[in-house]
Amino acid sequence: MNNEYIYYEFLKILDPKKVLRDAPMKDHTSFKAGGCSDFLIIPDTEDEIKLVIETCKINSVPYYIMGNGSNLLVKDKGFRGVIIKLGKRFSKCTLIDNILDCQSGVFLSRLARIAMENELSGFEFASGIPGTLGGAVTMNAGAYDGEMKDVLLSVRGLDMDGNIIELVNGDLELGYRTSAVKKRNMVVLSAKIRLEKGSKKKIKEKMEDFDQRRKSKQPLELPSAGSTFKRPPGHYAGKLIEDSGLKGFVVGGAQVSTKHCGFIVNINNASAKDIIDLIDHVISTVKTAFNVELEPEVKIIGED
């Protein structure tokens, strides 16, 4: 890949401020670890997203779409290609009656506040999930008493051929941490969420209750990617890990949280390798102890 050539190709379609070179991905991910991406692109329109992806495909440049980076780890040697970040620049929301139509870069916490301010109930469960709408749709994110499948009306996205398509709830194949969006490698552009009229006071109380539960049970004060592992059928990952004697286990600067064993946290300037090695050790130990195969929720990309 000729980085100079690619850089000037991007400048034909984007403001230079939206094209970052050798971007340290630890500054853009919640683990606060990992290497650099050759390019980090931060678009703010659908046309820019389409043009960036087209440029990557024409020039055979690998690319990856990210949101808030709350479920992403870039390996220490970095990502040879382009990471497209859909975040604050791509986060407009429109409210019509009880339906919120939002771009995929909106933070779930902001979306929950918008719903509360407009006395709309049903999105309280997502108020503390540290991610964006696009990632939540792709993974059918959920917590406490709700999942995205309960509120999603439809999703607009780019398919693998660059076509904009819209899928309604019944076509989204929403399951535990999966969806048709994920299976088809679609890029989420926007989604419509249907909520119900409610009491602002009760909505706020529910959000505050969930917030207090998270603070008491989860290591929110330390860098992490949230729950590191998917819930294995018939088990809880955190309990399996704790029962395997791994509570507080450390590899380099990474640790199995002493507050919640389902979380791996960055306690001392951990490298991506520290985190990956600890994930692998947890998987191996739990497999040996209980014959249960843990599967990471964290997406790991980049060069070894």
Q: In order of start, what are the domains of the chain with their CATH numbers? A: 3-88 (3.30.43.10), 91-217 (3.30.465.10), 237-301 (3.90.78.10)
Residue 297 falls in the annotated catalytic set: yes
* Candidate list 21, 110, 177, 194, residue with the active-site label: 177
* Candidate list 30, 224, 227, 244, residue with the active-site label: 227
Instruction: Give alpha helix (H) positions in the chain.
Output: 3-11, 46-58, 108-117, 133-139, 180-183, 200-217, 237-243, 272-290
pLDDT tens figures, 191-247: 999 999 999 999 999 999 999 999 999 999 999 999 999 999 999 999 999 999 999
* Candidate list 46, 119, 173, 297, residue with the active-site label: 297
CB 71 within 8 A of CB 176: no
Residue 196 falls in the annotated catalytic set: no
pLDDT tens figures, 268-302: 999 999 999 999 999 999 999 999 999 999 999 99
In sequence order, the β-bridge partners of residue 194 are 99
Tell me the pTM. 0.93
Residue 177 falls in the annotated catalytic set: yes
CB 201 within 8 A of CB 157: no
